[in-house]
Amino acid sequence: MLITTKKPWSEVQEMAADYQTLGIVGCGDCCAACQTGGSEQIKEAAAKLTEESKKEIVFSFTCEAPCDQRIIRRDLRRVSKELSQVDALVVMTCGIGVQSLAHVVDKPLIPTNNTQFPGSAARLGAFYEYCSTCGDCVLGETAAICPVTMCPKGLLNGPCEEVAEGMCDVFGYQKPCAWTDIYARLKARNSTDYLQKVRPARDWSSRMSPRQVVWAR
């Protein structure tokens, strides 16, 4: 899932200043889990915009997956009449949702969230980054611990010389070294042979943006 946090409300108000009639689009998936764009957050935003900024909210809805242009296009058809009446849309999604919406509707968009990272939800309100979406996954050789992400230096061939008692210097020796964790997990599985492999420097050209995957038709 993509982890999002709320923008300062003053920033949202500033972006909405020139528009009077608004629609609100939320996210029923990742942003609902992050409490940045679910049904409750839509109600809160609508109340603030109405009471504090004196805006008219023409419609609001939660899209199941606003990052999917097909789904957002389908949902907008249900409010096509109301859509024609709004000056702008308040978009309570991740950055992908905002840009997907921009591909299917010609309206000014007001994003309410900042997109942080693809992450894992450990519990309500606790989200952790495990993957850097580098496009060249080595998890099969590193006991499902990503050294590109979990090591702040992105080292691919073991720990740096600053590691001390299994702890990482970047975090003031308050967090475990990723490669210490990798070694411990591989040792427990009698799979330390993976550590003999020397991985070449990463070819970051594969990480150039924007990327795309398009299936052959």
Q: Tell me the pLDDT tens digit for each residue of 58-99.
A: 999 999 999 999 999 999 999 999 999 999 999 999 999 999
* pTM as predicted: 0.90
Confidence of residue 208 (pLDDT cuts 50, 70, 90): confident
State which residues form the domain around 178.
134-197
Q: Does the residue 19 lie in any domain?
A: yes
DSSP per position, 18-49: T-SEEEEEEESSHHHHHTSSSHHHHHHHHHHH
Beta-carbon count within 10 A of 132 CB: 15
Query: Could you tell me if 139 and 94 lie in one domain?
Result: no
Residue 180: per-residue pLDDT? 96
Q: Does the residue 206 lie in any domain?
A: no
Query: Could you tell me if 18 and 98 lie in one domain?
Result: yes
Q: Does the residue 127 lie in any domain?
A: no
Closest CA to 155 of 115, 119, 202: 202
Residue 98: per-residue pLDDT? 98
Query: Could you tell me if 7 and 111 lie in one domain?
Result: yes
Query: Could you tell me if 8 and 54 lie in one domain?
Result: yes
Closest CA to 55 of 64, 42, 44, 46: 46
The residue out of 117, 149, 183 marking a domain boundary is 117
Query: Could you tell me if 86 and 138 lie in one domain?
Result: no
Gap between the Cα atoms of 76 and 184, Å rounded: 51
- Please tell me the total count of domains within the chain: 2
